[in-house]
Amino acid sequence: MGIISKAAASAHRARPFYEEHEISDELKSVLEEEAKHLVGARRRSTEDAFEEGERFDRIATLLPEGTLEKWAVECCGYTARHVRTKRAVHRNLQPYKEILVALAVGPTVLGKMSAATPEQVEQIIGFASMHHRLRVQDVTGIMSGSKEDIEEKPEIDPYDVGGPAGL
């Protein structure tokens, strides 16, 4: 199924949403045009992830308060979580966009990074610069505290431990 036909089918499915929220014909045509872009988005590059987040933020200002996720689900086939993540990437990582694009950080990794504090983002960028790649598990490790930061527990012989663990 082509991009245009997917968008047309989604627009048809979104009709109840438009009627329920009394969306004007003018706004409806703007939203349907945005939906075509979102449905046809490549979702492959770092730049695309930021653009999608920006687009969702812009659409949120056009729709009634709190209805963006419902619109995206009904009209574009996105999940509510996906919408929240894309918006978080745009809002939270915008100051780092240039370097993240240069490092070619993948959209999935960006989604994970969007929940990081600024200090953690700096650490993640440093890690990516040193290792020339970044994976979700790298981001997760940095965000949860690296293994080097946690005091190592001395290895105990299981026979020296009491209780069921020592049996």
Complete DSSP assignment for 120-132: HHHHHHHHHHHHS
Q: Say if residue 151's pLDDT is above 70.
A: no
Q: Do 71 and 31 touch, CB atoms closer than 8 A?
A: yes
Tell me what the mean pLDDT of segment 70-80 comes to: 88
Tell me what the mean pLDDT of segment 135-164 comes to: 70
155, part of any domain: no
Q: Say if residue 29's pLDDT is above 50.
A: yes
166, part of any domain: no
Q: Say if residue 77's pLDDT is above 60.
A: yes
Number of domains in the chain: 1
Q: Say if residue 149's pLDDT is above 50.
A: no
pLDDT confidence of residue 152: 47
Residue at token pair 């490790």: 141
List all residues 6 or more positions away from 154 whose beta carbon is below 8 Å from its beta carbon. none
167, part of any domain: no
Q: Which domain holds residue 124?
A: 3-148
2: exposed, middle or buried (Cβ count in 10 Å: 0-12, 13-18, 19+): exposed
Q: Do 114 and 67 touch, CB atoms closer than 8 A?
A: no
**For the chain, what is the mean pLDDT?**
81
70, part of any domain: yes
What are the pLDDT digits (tens) for 36-65?
777 766 557 889 899 999 999 999 999 989
